[in-house]
Every structure is written in structure tokens, then in C-alpha cells.
Structure 1
């Protein structure tokens, strides 16, 4: 049985280490995606499909909102859907991030040419603005001037009569950040710093209370990107800005380890917590780091289902009642899991706790990988948990939801958590066919997991021999006593410590390490204690196809609700 078919229908160079404060030390460092190349597997297929999707988009239509705001003539009209109804420009920022990751992950020259074009056109917009401003919010200048003067009218999805402009501008901040870190673009770095300086001037006359009032409006992960600018430049004033954009309505209950999430818009909160963790790591702030960990544990252990997703109709439902999850066609949102994986990565790196990787694996295989159609391409907004229902996939010329933006990025980032390293230790965390370049050593992982219950590493030091410790993650779904580990066919003693089995030796070119990981069936109940279960084999949540009839709008048009699978719903009994 091909298990994956049943579910399918951080940087090129490290952020500069800055002595802003005593930083939280990384216990495991993930490899930048440029050091990892995927080989034949469903993950590689998803990466290839994503390249096709990225190249199928007209960059001039994504750039149109930015050119209009800069007073320049657009070369094409805006795309439709969310891109011309108030959230104009948000996909342009995601697109920049996706191109940056994809070029780093593959070296694809067409992707690099598209990235260079995007940066050059965005730079033209910023230069025309003259003050560092770069955004696609329609008639944004008038709105930003009101905010600068203290005239703030905020609501959950609005700010001064615009659709979440802070969320919108965060996407271009993040895009420039990713272009800086993934591709070493000096132009992107200069643009990022100029845009951040513009924001400092914008809020310079506002009180902390006024800024907190403004943050009632969804604002993405602005605190994270400003902290990243602080790390990139070594300038403390950007860390001050990151603090100013940290929403205390969300932070304070987390510091007290109180779950106040019920009813809140889920993906509004997750990026804020990513920012809390990023600031904590730069400052060595263990209280904020623990707040982020508490949020993660609350969401993963009490508010998520087995595929790794959370929320119904975009909001956190009561933790003790998952009934809406089982009946709604608007189940877990892809953006939420995208951001939960980003938070998971950060928490794992400063703890080396394998429980983070167990969640990461399950969410990656069962949610993220499955949100791209493997034949036609396209990305999913909602994954209904309602039995027998279906999902809607985006199309390159019609669909510009938030989950299209994060979806473009998802399938370019598969390489970033397969392996990790610290000092002379190499960690193997995910069983995905790939090659790794680690200094002067190449590692090739050969596996058909999860159809194969194990994985083989081929180790090839350039200089013939190299001594290091190899650590395999032992997943929570296997039985340690059933493990089998061998080197060049010779059985090795197995001892599991802190979730890893380790092997230290001087490795020779062509050494083969084989780890066998027996899988078994198990049932996992919903967190609310109700008599509802998922059946898993290893990390894979099993599912069955129930036919293809009445899947209305399975490939979305450009209507406002085109991302919702609104066709007939089968009876639950």
C-alpha cells in the first residue's frame, strides 16, 4: 500500500550573530535549504509542481499594486480575487519569499531570473517613493499619514478603513528578509532596512498605548521581521521596534500560562508568537521563550487534530468541544500549520526536544504535503475533517488567498528540517530522500519511507575519512526495542537517549548506515475526550477515497468565497 498516495489528492547564510543581549543558545542548528537537495519522492514531486506554479504566475500583475502606490505606471493590471479587493500586494511579498527559498533549494535559473526581476521592479517602486516606503495597500499613503498623526481606527480585520494593511505590509517585509537571507541579495537587504526605517519614523510620535491599540488589527509577524532586521544589522533600535510591535493582549496571558485562545482568529495569533520567540532568542529572554513554548503545547496538545492542523472557520474552537471540527467544511487552515511549523522549528533548535520533531513530521506529511494537488497543482485553504467532504485547490490566474501565498512557500522549504548539526554531531530528523552537503562530507539518504519501514544513509567524506557522531531521531510512533541499526551490514548495539540513537566512529567513503523503524497501527482520540478516533500507521493518518461526485468548484474561480468547498455534504452517519 502506498501510504502517501492515500493522503495526496532558514537561510543560505546564517543571520548575523549580534551581541544585542545574551542570546539563547541553539542546541541544534538546522541546515540552510541550499545545503540540501531533494531526490525522487512525493516531496520532490511537490517541489517540482511548485516551480511550475511559480513560473505560471505573471509577475507584472503581482507588481501592479506596488507600481500604482509608487505613482508609476503598471505594466499589467492587478490580479483579481484578494489582489484587487483591498489586500492588493500581499501575494507579491509571499511570492518573493517563495522564489527566494526555491532558488536556494534548487538552483533553478528561471526562478532566479524571476526573483531578480521582482527585486529590481520593487526597488524602482521604493526609489520612486523617496522615503523607503514600499507597499501595495490601495491609497495607502493617506491611511499611513492618519496613523502617523495618531488617528487610529483599529478592528480585528481593519485599520483606518483598509483591509489589514499591517498584515499586508508584513508580507513584503518578510519577502525582502527571505531574499536577503536565502540568496544574499544586497539590494533586498538595503530595501528591507529602508522600509524598516520608514516604519520607525511612522510610529515615532505614537505612544506605546496607541501602538498597542493599532495592533488589535491583524498584523502578521511584524515583530519577528523587525527582530530579524536587528540581527542582520546589529542595530538595537530595530529590536526596540520589535518590542513595540509585540501585542501584549496575547503575550501577557501566555506569560502567565493561561489559555485564552478560544474564539480568537487562529492565524492572527501564531505569527505574533513566532515573533515573541525570535525576540526571546536574540535577548536570551527565557520568560518569552517559555510563553512561546506554552502556546505551542496548548495548540498542539489540546487544540489540534492528528494531521497537525487547528481551527474551524479560521478560529480556535473550545478545547473541550471538537464537534464543529467534525461537521464544518472549513476545517484546519493551511496558513496555520505553515506558521506552527515555523514556530516548531525555532523551539526545537533551542531545546533539541524530539517531541517538536514528532509534531513537525506528522504535520508535514499529513497536512502540508497533501495541500498541493499532485496532478494539476494548486493550493488548499481549508482541509475539512468532515467525513466524505473534499478540498478546493487554487489556480495560478484566479486564486490569491493567504494560503496560496504560504502554499507557494511550503513546497520550497522541505529541506530545512531533514537534518541538523551541532559541533561534531549530525542529526537525521526526517526520513526524506535527499542529499546533504555538510562541509567536506556528502550524505545521501535513500528511502521509500513511509512505504519502507526504515532508511539508509550513504556517507562520503571528501578526504576519505571523517570522525563524527551520527544521531537518528527515534519517532514516537515506533518501538525502541524493535529498532535495527547496522553499518555496512554489521548489526550495531542500539541505545536510545533523549529520543536519539547515536553512533560515533570514523567514517569512510561509501559507508552505509541502515536504520529499520517498524511501524504499527494505532488509534488516537480527539483531544476533547470524545469517542472519535483517527487511525494511524506510523506517522501517517489513514484516509479513504469516497468518490469524486458533487465536488463543486474543486478548482477555484476568482470569487470571494471560491476557496470554500461549498458543494453538497454527505450525511455523517
Structure 2
């Protein structure tokens, strides 16, 4: 099975074409010189524009430029807009100048990059899940450039990009040459994107074995080994740290005929899609994999599945589909594409979503070009440029129709055009018209989705007898002629899909489309993000779960209560259910608790008490850090040495034999004291706590909680230092309280 090039597939109409157009506007609003500034700074070349703020000026400097190269390449291929190619060529040339100035093949935007990489080369390594020598995910950062240069070459044929990429790859191989296997694996404990995959790509491009060897060397064994044994060790791990590694395992396994690595990738995919994903295809809460038997945290959090996760899960899904020639992977691909990826772009104003909460009556935040430089902006720039990548695929002579998206396929090599028109999912059909230079025999294969019922096929108006089952292809083999018209018709059913943990929370799904209801437009604080470090998070009120809509009746009646407005819109008492991807700039409810009349009273009362306690604590909280979680710690400028983090008792934690520190925000000086929560018993003689360098007195220790009065000041550094290298307790949360 082979994909078509993006150049061969053009979107023609509908929501995906609109998303592509809106993305193009956003891409053209960004300034290449601002994105390049971190690279020029590091190379010592005068700037043409000051760099962007936000994450581009707080440690992840330069990461968006790599994504931007990929987005330019894919969108140019998809649209033919020459301005995109002009920008891409310009950026590659500027990066080549930086590489030449550095003189050793290196090019990067990482703050104080030369000093940082020199320490790594000498084996001076101190890292955690997201900090390597107190630098924020540097290999993850440079991986974006590797991928951007690869796409610039492979998709648009930019030879200079290939040259820069090879130079960068050779520099990296020299960088890690003195390091032992143990030291390399220590480095890989820090989030590093898909660096193993891009070295496999370098091997594909050059056929030089040193790159394939580097790809294998840069594969993280701590994740790989349990997957090889079909062991689920994913709970508590930072989700998007893991998925790119697995894409690399799959590619390396395919290149080396190592079926064990390929099976490990497939095991991971099935685990995540079947046990850890919600109805719209996303996974994770506060960026981490939650327990498979408990989605409660996700239901309660304003930080639901992260867009980057699904971006990478679709890349893994595509690889598995092509390498295994198995159409069943596309059922997940379609679900995630329509319901998560499509929904993460504001369809009129533009802007990308980081978190998509499933908490009832909550909302999402959208990025803006001048203020927001998050990871999900980088992947968001790419997401809407490549919708044409799997609408169709092909074998040597045959065509496969995978997705029902209005588009035109031009397979010039075979003298074939295929035009697909439809109003799916609003109508239950798609139409295909063939344009052929001459009549020819081949198979046209149409995907039979797992959700489709009562499937019918007509060729030039005549009903066809066919064989095929859901999650397979329907094969139409004949001598096709110019102008032949194929109509694929089906029905869709609406069902309730429960969370994987077996709880009583369910979403309405019609065919592949998740339905949800707008609940209000009240208190959408920060709907369009400012440039603050945590601008990607919602700031609006959390509405109590006990006040959310619930389905109260006998189970057999939940779906039958829906009253159809049209094919995709339904009335449910006072609510209107519609495709989730259409809901924007509003609070919404996607998941509903299902209860009988008898269950309802007790359940809601219990929830009311639980919610009251949670919301009362949040109401007096000025700032908080969940220790050991990536974004909360980065948001608070974590620094530390000889520190480890982990996940136990459903809590993340951090400990140290040296020190850890955070910058806390005491807004309006409203906070009066700090609570520091631990998982261990506390011996205050083994560590000291300072605020802005001054030791502070512990007021009380009770129930593994330290309480400290704080000085009246807005922002301050909290530092915890171990005495005599005695390991501190496992700290899991720090709060400033009113």
C-alpha cells in the first residue's frame, strides 16, 4: 500500500478545505525572520527581526521554526501557493548560513546551545523527564528542525534542505560518539521527540548505514522493552513524550525487518486507541496517560487530551496502515481526524487548541499568531495542511478510497483522475467520477467503514453486487472508462459510547462523528490566548459536575429520546446535539452520566459534596504546581539537580538529593501561606526551604503537609535544598493559598 503525494490530491469543498484555508491565513501571518531569530542569535549573526515571545523566548526557542518548515512544505504541496515555497526556500537558506557560521554542522536555536551541547559531548549529564542540564527538552526542540528539513527536501525537493539536514545529522553523531550506551539512554529519559525516526529517515534518504545505527542507538529502551514483552507500563507517563518514540520503533523495525519492534509499536497503538482514548480520539489528562480503569481525573480536569498526542497518533496510524496493508487502522484515523484534529482550529477567526477538556460545561482556548508559541501551535500549523495524505492510496495498479472528503485525485502516471463529491456527514453518500485518458482494467477499492450499515453501490446508476465486511475494502474490478460514476451509499446509526474505564459516562456517536451540545457562552476567560506562559490553559470558572446534564432513564431509552432535526443534529429535551467539530467559542458537554431515576438522587448528592470540596480549595488557591508534571513545572521555571520524578498512588512527584526550585506567582499579593504536600513522612531536619534566598520557618507539619507563612510579595522563588545529600520526601503539590 502506498500513499499518494500531497501534490496529487486537492481538497475541493467542505469543512476540511475551510480548515486548510484558515490555516494558510495563520501561516502567512507569521514572520519567518522572527521564527529564525533564535538560530541567528546562536550563530552570532545580526537579527532581521526580534524573536517571538511566549515559549519562543522562555527556553523552547526555535521549535516553531521546524514545525513551520514542515507546514510550508505540506501546504505548498497541497495548494501550489508559491508564496509558501518562497518562504520555505528563504528559511532553509538562512539556516544554511547559520550552519556555515557555526562551522561544524550544527544549527539550532536552543538558548546557550554551544555551551549546552559541549557539556553533553563531555558526558556531563543531569536530566529529568523534561529538563536536561536545566535546559527545556533540547533534543525534542532540535528534532523539530530535523523533521522540518526532512519535509522541505522530501516534499518540495529542496536540495539545500537535504544538505543542511545531513550536516546536522553528522554533527549529532559526532556529539554522542564519546558517550556510552548508558549515557545515551540517560539522555533519552528527557523528552526528545522522534529523534530516532528522523535518523531512520536520513538512512532512507542517503542509504548510509551510520544513520540507521544512530536511529537504533537513539531508541529509548525504558519504553521499548516493556512493549516488546506486551506489558502495559504507560500509566503516569507523559503521553506525547512516548508516541514519537514508537513511530521511530515502527519505522526502524520495518527498515531492519525486525518484526518484534513492529509488533511492539502495534501493541502500543492498540493499547492507546482501545484503552486510553476517549470518543473523539484524544488521550491523556494534564498531558499524562491516566489509569485505564479510572478516567475520573480527565472528567474533572480543565486539561483534557492534548492535540500533539493525536497529531502523533495519526502519524503512527498512517505508518501502521501502510506497512501492514490493513484498512482497520483507518477507523481510528477517521474518528480522530474529524472529531479531534478538525475541532482544534477555530473555523472563522483561526487559532489552535492545546487541551480539549471532556469536563462538562467547559471550553477550549485558541492561539493567536503574535502571542502563542506552544507545542500544539507547531503541530497545529501542520495538522490542517495535510488532509489529503490518506483520502486515497494505491498499490501498483489499483486505487483505494479511504476517506469521504471532497477532493480530486490526479494519478498522472496512470492517466487517471478521480473526483469525489459529497456533503458527508450531513448526507449518507459519496460520489466518485473517473476521468481516464483511455479505458483500462483495474480495481477501485472503497473502504467499508466499521460504522456503516445498509451499504449500497451503484455504477452508472446500476446497483452492484459486492462482497466485503466492515473494516475491509469493497473491491470493484472491471474495465473502467472515462466518465464512469460510482455512488457509495450507507446508513449511520447513533449509539452511546462509554469511557474505556467502564464507568457510567458516555458520549453520543453517530457513524464516526461525536455529537455534543453547546451549553453556554458565559465566562470564557482567555478564550483567545494572551502571551502569558500559561495562556494555553482556560482561566474561566469550573462549573460543578453535579450541575451537568445527565441522562436519567432506563438504559434502553437513552438513544431513543433523540429527536432528529436533520442527519447530524438532534434535540434532546432542552439541548441540541450537533457534531463536536462545529462547536466553537462556547462551553459544551460531550460526555453524559447515565443513571436510572433511583440512582440519580444519590449520585448527584455524592457528587455535590465532592465537587464542593474541590471547588472550595480552588477558590482560595492563588497558584499551584503539580510537581513532576511537565507543563506545571516548566510554567513555574523549574530548576534542579540530582532530582528524580515519578508517579505513584495516582500522583506525580519530585524528589532531590541536591535542590529543586520554582518561581511562584502570588497575584495581587493575595496569598498568605504555602502548602507543600508529600507522599512520605517528613523530617524537616533533612532539608531547608528558602524564599528568594532567605530561609523560612515551617509553621506546621500535619498529614504529610508542610505549611509556611509567606512574605507579602507578588512573585518569588521557592527553593528546597537537601542537607547532606539525604533524599527529600516525594513532593507532589505546592499551593499558594489565600
TM-score by length of 2: 0.73
Kept in 1: contact 2:281–2:339 (CA 8 A): yes
Residue 31 of structure 1: CA displacement? 1.0
Equivalent in the alignment of 2:183: 210
Q: Could you tell me how far apart the structure 1 residues matched to 2:357 and 2:349 are?
A: 20
Please name the residue that 2:249 is paired with. Answer: 276
2:289 match? 316
- Which of structures 1 and 2 has the larger relative contact order (alpha carbons within 8 angstroms, sep 6+)? 1
CA distance in structure 2 between the partners assigned to 1:564 and 1:387 by the alignment: 16
- Residue aligned with 1:483, SS: strand
Contact 1:435 1:445 in 2 (8 A): yes
Alignment correspondent of 2:446? 472
Q: State which of 399, 416, 420 in structure 2 corresponds to 1:441.
A: 416
Q: What does residue range 94-105 of structure 1 map to in structure 2 within 5 Å?
A: 94-105=67-78
Partners of 2:521 and 2:98 in 1: CA distance: 46
Tell me what 1:63 maps to: 36
Q: Which runs of 4+ in 1 moved over 3 A?
A: none
Q: 3-state SS of the aligned residue for 2:491?
A: coil
Alignment partners' CA distance in 2, 1:517 and 1:176: 43
Matched, 1:49 2:27: no
What is the Cα deviation at residue 507 of structure 1?
Answer: 0.9
Matches within 5 A, 1:184-223: 184-223=157-196
Work out which of the residue numbers 461, 483, 500 in structure 2 matches 1:489.
461
Partner of 1:346: 319
| Post-superposition CA distance 1:153-198 (Å, at most 9, x none) | 1111111121111111001000001101110110000110000000
Partners of 1:180 and 1:188 within 8 A in 2: yes
Residues 89 and 158 in structure 2, CA contact (< 8 A), matched pair in contact too:
no
Question: Structure 1 residue 532: deviation in Å?
Answer: 1.1
Matched, 1:571 2:544: yes
Higher helix residue share: 1
Instruction: Tell me the SS of whatever aligns to 1:110.
Output: helix
- Specify the alignment match of 2:365 in structure 1: 392
Native 8 Å contact 1:483 1:494 kept in 2: no
- Cα separation, 2, equivalents of 1:487 and 1:562: 53
Q: Residues 329 and 566 of structure 1 are in contact (CA less than 8 Å); yes or no, is this contact kept in structure 2?
A: no
Q: How does 1:54-133 map to 2 (within 5 A)?
A: 54-133=27-106
- Matched length: 543
Of 345-354 and 494-503, more deviation after overlay is shown by 494-503
TM-score normalised to structure 1 length: 0.94
- In the aligned structure 1, how far is the partner of 2:390 from the partner of 2:338? 13
Give the match for residue 641 of structure 2: none
Deviation at residue 74 of structure 1 after TM alignment: 1.1
CA distance in 1, matches of 2:298, 2:442: 47
Partner of 1:461: 436
* Structure of higher CA gyration radius: 2
- Partner deviation per Cα, 1:121-171 (whole Å, 9 max, x = no partner): 111111111111010001110010011011111111111121111111001
Q: Are positions 1:141 and 2:118 aligned together? A: no
**1:427 is aligned to 2:400:** yes
Gaps of 5+ in 2: 547-738
Kept in 1, the 8 Å contact 2:197–2:215? The answer is: yes
CA distance in 2, matches of 1:225, 1:72: 27
Partner of residue 34, structure 1: 7
SS in 2 for 1:403: helix
Q: 3-state DSSP class of the match of 1:83?
A: helix
Aligned Cα RMSD in Å? 0.8
C-alpha separation between the residues in 1 aligned to 2:80 and 2:216?
36
Q: What is the aligned partner in structure 2 of residue 9 from structure 1?
A: none
Q: Distance in 1 between matches of 2:47 and 2:67?
A: 20
Richer in strand (by share): 2
